[in-house]
Structure 1
Amino acid sequence: MKIDVLTLFPRMFQGPLTESIIGKAIEKDLLQVNVMNFRDYTDNKHQNVDDYPYGGGAGMLLKAQPIFAALDAVKEKNPDTKKRVILLDPAGIPFTQSVAEELADEEHLVFICGHYEGYDERIRTLVTDEISLGDYVLTGGELGAMVIIDATVRLLPEVLGNDQSAKTDSHSTGLLEQPQYTRPAEFRGMKVPDVLISGNHKKIKEWQDKESIRRTIERRPDMLETVKLSEEQQRYLKEIKQEN
């Protein structure tokens, strides 16, 4: 996958894109990331990227010209790739695991990170997607781009040590992940459930499935409204409600 990021603050990406899973993916050549400062693409000697909005209003708007020019440069450098151009914006669709899974199938992602009060509306003609992390406002789109990149890249083949890890994550299955434990079997009086150390894989799988539903009921019951449960999962749900 190729990723281009258009931002006014390239140094914000140095840590997140060079450490941990993302850094290793780049080292393995599973991922190519280019962070570019779109201030370098302005057509005025002062390199201004913002201006006052027509009609008045608070704050400054990002001008269309430097964004258009920076994206032209991306297209010129990568003429043969199909690009998904993402605008980070509070008015965009909420970012979810299903969106990350969809983006992970793409060949080339381009992120436009805004700042100031907002965008010149003509910038929106360049994009394929407008995405928001949630119903709140950040100082800029950089943090949002980092989150989306992280959630998306970890889904690429060979990025995680075990490709099954991403498939069983919370939200990937439509349910929250079950509780998990590691050694020691007892710590400060708290014991690992006996079934997990029984060696009975069928019973372990049943426990995991049931506890996944239990955790979802307790913490995110809204998720059960959209997920399609199997007959076995429906039975677990009924048992849990009866236990409660």
Structure 2
Amino acid sequence: MTSGITRRAFEAGLVDVHLWNPRDFADGNYRRVDDRPFGGGPGMVMLAEPLARCLRTIQAARADAVPAPVVLFSPLGSTLTHAAVEVWSASAGAVLVCGRYEGIDQRFIDRFVTHQVSLGDFVLSGGEVAALALLDAVARLQPGVLNDAGSHQFDSFNPALDGLLDCPHYTRPETWEEHKVPEALLSGHHLQIERWRRDQRLQITAQRRPDLLQAARAAGRLNRADEALLKSLPPT
């Protein structure tokens, strides 16, 4: 978070992160934050009490009178989407709980967690990587962070692209290892360029994420030219 695009968000105070260690709120010389699970089984489970003490201290330290949402990164959570990132980017912040070991005592989750978030159908060693992913996605949507204010409008999944995947991009030279840049992008004809990009978005989305294409069609985001292009594509 101290380099690249996200650095601008933090230096401008648009995004701020405070780190809290649950071990600082644990008892005993060893500051244990985990124990064996009731009922047996592999792994260790994070204790509810140190997490609760830590969370209460965090909420008390916040300037907002209303407690912040508590986000737990978990395979049980809703998959993180662009729409969700946009909501979080406009929010007043949240407490991000990064689990470890086999999991967290369910009583803490039931008592305090307001949102559970997953990056996808796989398991990480801890929630830190997921937290960094969310922070990066949120930071780049803050005003003034990207050099071109409209850059994020052309990201995959963005409503500005009707929720479709983005098109391929090319830069100089015009020919690289006998592969040329598509003629449409060299034409200087803005409508032709935009139609090419639109066709590429439709084709790639149809091939790789037909669910996104179905959602765009159901929302009435596809026009006649779009449908004509899709009908011309070979069956997948």
Using structure 1 for the length normalisation, give the TM-score: 0.86
Residue equivalent to 2:95: 110
Residue equivalent to 2:84: 99
Are 2:206 and 1:221 aligned?
Answer: no
Pairing 1:74-89 to 2, within 5 Å after superposition: 74-80=58-64, 82=66, 83-89=68-74
Residue equivalent to 1:61: 45
Q: CA deviation at 1:40?
A: 0.8
Alpha-carbon displacement from aligned partner over 1:156-196 (angstroms, at most 9, x marks no partner): 22121122111210111310111111112222222222222
Report if the CA contact (8 A) 2:6-2:140 is conserved: yes
The Cα RMSD (Å) is: 1.8
CA–CA distance in structure 2, aligned partners of residues 230 and 126 of structure 1: 39
CA–CA distance in structure 2, aligned partners of residues 145 and 243 of structure 1: 39
Equivalent in 57, 64, 72 of residue 73 of structure 1: 57
Are 2:27 and 1:43 aligned?
Answer: yes
Report if the CA contact (8 A) 2:9-2:142 is conserved: no
The alignment-based identity, stated in percent, is 37
CA–CA distance in structure 2, aligned partners of residues 238 and 43 of structure 1: 67
Alpha-carbon displacement from aligned partner over 1:58-116 (angstroms, at most 9, x marks no partner): 22110111111111121111141652210011111111112111211111121100111
Alpha-carbon displacement from aligned partner over 1:179-237 (angstroms, at most 9, x marks no partner): 111112222222222222222212211221121101111222222121234353x4223
Report if the CA contact (8 A) 2:203-2:233 is conserved: no
Structure 1 or 2: more strand by fraction: 1
Amino acid at match of 1:31: V
Deviates more, 1:69-78 or 1:110-119: 69-78
CA–CA distance in structure 2, aligned partners of residues 149 and 98 of structure 1: 14
Residue equivalent to 2:3: 19
Report if the CA contact (8 A) 1:84-1:106 is conserved: no
Structure 1 residue matching 2:17: 3-state secondary structure: strand
CA–CA distance in structure 2, aligned partners of residues 95 and 203 of structure 1: 34
Report if the CA contact (8 A) 2:155-2:166 is conserved: yes
CA–CA distance in structure 1, aligned partners of residues 222 and 5 of structure 2: 37
Residue equivalent to 2:181: 192
CA–CA distance in structure 1, aligned partners of residues 221 and 19 of structure 2: 44
Report if the CA contact (8 A) 1:89-1:132 is conserved: yes
Residue equivalent to 2:138: 152
Structure 2 residue matching 1:35: 3-state secondary structure: coil
Report if the CA contact (8 A) 1:87-1:129 is conserved: yes
Report if the CA contact (8 A) 1:213-1:237 is conserved: no
Structure 1 residue matching 2:74: 3-state secondary structure: strand
Amino acid at match of 1:195: A
Equivalent in 165, 169, 175 of residue 155 of structure 2: 169
CA–CA distance in structure 2, aligned partners of residues 66 and 84 of structure 1: 18
Q: CA deviation at 1:243?
A: 4.8
Report if the CA contact (8 A) 2:5-2:145 is conserved: yes
CA–CA distance in structure 2, aligned partners of residues 229 and 238 of structure 1: 15
Residue equivalent to 1:9: none
Report if the CA contact (8 A) 1:81-1:107 is conserved: no
CA–CA distance in structure 2, aligned partners of residues 45 and 231 of structure 1: 63
Deviates more, 1:187-196 or 1:89-98: 187-196
Structure 2 residue matching 1:226: 3-state secondary structure: helix
Unaligned 5+ residue runs, structure 2? none
Using structure 2 for the length normalisation, give the TM-score: 0.89
Moved over 4 A (4+): none
